[in-house]
Structure 1
Amino acid sequence: MTSRLYVNGRLTAEGFGIDEAGERLRTAPDAVVWVDLDAPGAADLATLADEFGLHPLAVEDAVQEHERPKLDHYRNHLFLNVYAVTFDDADGTPRKTEISAFITPRALITVRKTPFDLKTLTQRWDEEGRPAGAGVDFLVYGLLDLVVDGQYRTAQRIDEAMDTVEDRMLGDGPAPRDVRRRGFVLRRALATLRRAVAPMPDVVRDVAKELAGDDHLRPYYRDVEDHARHAVDLIEHSRGRITELLDDDLAEQSNELNVVTRKLAAWAAIIAVPTALTGYFGQNVPYPGFGKWWGFLLSCALMLAAASGLYTFLKRRGWL
């Protein structure tokens, strides 16, 4: 558990327990509190629900995994669910951290199902040059700004990873198997990322309508919404790009297959003509060693050598 208390925009206390959070708010009328829980148990959430009047359905959504990005309205608080995203270059898979948040007039309570670097979030809150004050609306802005920036960076890294795939796919002939597999992995990564990012512009806009009452915070929320829309546009562009690359490679494979089929048909025709003639006239010419014991071995060796040579030739050409 991580906790912080802000009074008039200044950090005055941190590291206190759940039971102290409500008491500190009651003793400091101008204070707001942030409480973060990493994979909390039912007892921890029950204590928070009693202390801050959290709705049971919102508590249930915070415990369950794979909730969609959304903003739900309850009588005395809001429930926000978003996904922080990073990208692993090694296997081309986005890593998602589901973050649920209870937003009350004087408290922000975040719940995480998996580990997440909170230092970046607290540094963003503590930066100078931010809007005056540190109310809950500012804390939520910092959270959304961090999440959306991470989503946009992940979309950029996937788009950059496609440059290498594109360069190798645009070479002569079909792309190697490992390049095609990399392309399919990136397309799957984009589909995974899209599910987390696509709803974010609407979520940010809804949060701004509820919280950005002061004029000085509205431009900041609009900036986050704009970044979220850029992330969605980049993902859609990248999806179209990788799909076109894979389709072009499939067409190139079809062209290559047509060339191979034409060559095989030509060789078959060349061999079929003398075979048809000799079969029609029933020719039976004695071969070297005809009637000898070693002649049979010689004929078998010739057939095996011819078949092996043809197999080697076709294998090197990539036809087998």
Structure 2
Amino acid sequence: MRGRTWRHGEPQDDFVFSSISDCLAAEDTLVWCDIYDPDHAILKDLAEELHLNAWAVEDALADAERTKAVVYRTHTFFTVYGVTMTEAPDTAPGDASPSLLEVHRISGFVLPRGLITVRLSPHFDIDEVSRRFDELGGQEYGVGALVHGLLDVVVDGHFTAVQVLDDAIESLEDDLFAEETPRKGLQRKTFQLRKDLVALRRVVLPMREVVSAIQHRRLDAKTAPELDPVYADLYDHVLRVSEWTESLRDMVTTVFETNLSLQDARLNTVMKKLTGWAAIIAVPTAITGFYGQNVDYPGIETVAGFLTSSAIIVVLVLVLYVMFKRRDWL
């Protein structure tokens, strides 16, 4: 557990978790408490002390919970997912393509004078939330600014993830028309990118309702009008990420379908060439088989017959080769 306290707009260094309820009750005081991987009993005691909804507490600790925001009489509860991107390791052509996306769940209880965040992952940059809050103006804008700082960091992570996936799809498009790229590895990459986009879409699209619900909750009637422009900008970013995710989903689907079409085209080309060479090889086979019969024919067992059959083979093979080459069958 960690946190920060602001009094009269100035940051303090006296945050104590046991006195959080006293700080929340004091005027001109703002409290932020961050709890990582909490014990159920501790969070339940805190909920009873602060009169938090019991169902919201259960949702904050649940193994799987969707992105949402729920407004209660005394507080607002929300769950969002931050994402980070990892570098793709070098893998053998036959190995499965690893996921680039890591998802981290953050839940929050928004009170009139404080914010309590509950995290189940240590990889979310919670320090950046505090820096964003200071950049926005500190306690001058109340708890709404702190919530905005958290959501802004989350949405920026979504932007970074979409950009990385966009670059990965562009690289996939380049590999699509490269002759030396293994087809099996390309299919694995495409399938994994589709899975990452589905996972990102699942956490990005509901953010519109979360931002809208928190903005219209009017956490602080005095400062809410001043925060409307920054929340409107945040909502616009959420829309852009959502639209970008949808377009990338269409792009990776197009890559997948194009790959299948190219495979069919390559198969047709191979079959066409095999058919052409089979026709060419059939000429000497037919002629030599003709002369290999146990029936006397003109020129059998003579040099003239051998030269005649050889000349017929060469002429017919050359004629077929030129004809197939002109039609691009070879």
Q: How far off is 1:202 after superposition?
A: 2.1
In 2, Cα distance between equivalents of 1:167 and 1:173: 11
Q: Deviations over 1:248-274 (max 9, x none)?
A: 121111011011122333444555677
Matches within 5 A, 1:139-288: 139-171=146-178, 176-211=183-218, 213=221, 214-269=224-279, 283=293
In 1, Cα distance between equivalents of 2:77 and 2:206: 15
Give yes or no for contact 2:204–2:241 (8 Å, CA) kept in 1: yes
Identify the residue that residue 118 of structure 1 maps to in structure 2.
126
Identify the residue that residue 24 of structure 1 maps to in structure 2.
23
Give yes or no for contact 1:103–1:109 (8 Å, CA) kept in 2: yes
SS in 1 for 2:256: helix
Give yes or no for contact 1:6–1:31 (8 Å, CA) kept in 2: yes
In 2, Cα distance between equivalents of 1:78 and 1:132: 19
Q: How far off is 1:9 after superposition?
A: 2.5
Identify the residue that residue 296 of structure 1 maps to in structure 2.
none
Q: How far off is 1:20 after superposition?
A: 1.1
In 1, Cα distance between equivalents of 2:292 and 2:247: 66
Give yes or no for contact 1:131–1:216 (8 Å, CA) kept in 2: no
Asked whether 1:78 is paired with 2:76, we answer yes
Provide closer, same or farther for how the CA distance between residues 131 and 48 of structure 1 changes in structure 2, counting only shifts above 3 A. Answer: closer
In 1, Cα distance between equivalents of 2:50 and 2:184: 56
SS in 1 for 2:197: helix
Letter in 1 for 2:23: R
SS in 1 for 2:116: strand
Give yes or no for contact 2:5–2:29 (8 Å, CA) kept in 1: yes
Give yes or no for contact 2:5–2:30 (8 Å, CA) kept in 1: yes
Q: How far off is 1:2 after superposition?
A: 0.9
In 1, Cα distance between equivalents of 2:289 and 2:54: 87
Q: How far off is 1:47 after superposition?
A: 1.7
User: Of 49, 52, 62, which aligns to 1:51?
Assistant: 49
Q: Deviations over 1:30-82 (max 9, x none)?
A: 21211111010112111211111011110110000221110112222111000
- Once structures 1 and 2 are overlaid, which stretch shifts more, 185-194 or 208-217? 208-217
How many residues end up aligned between the 2 structures? Answer: 282
Give yes or no for contact 1:8–1:134 (8 Å, CA) kept in 2: no
Q: Which runs of 5 or more residues in structure 2 are unaligned?
A: 89-97, 296-330
Task: Name the TM-score, length of structure 1 as normaliser.
Answer: 0.80
Provide closer, same or farther for how the CA distance between residues 144 and 211 of structure 1 changes in structure 2, counting only shifts above 3 A. Answer: farther
C-alpha RMSD of the superposition: 2.5
Instruction: Quote the sequence identity (%).
Output: 39
Give yes or no for contact 1:131–1:217 (8 Å, CA) kept in 2: no
Q: How far off is 1:13 after superposition?
A: 3.4
Task: Name the TM-score, length of structure 2 as normaliser.
Answer: 0.78
In 2, Cα distance between equivalents of 1:126 and 1:204: 20
In 1, Cα distance between equivalents of 2:180 and 2:11: 62
Q: Which runs of 5 or more residues in structure 1 are unaligned?
A: 286-320
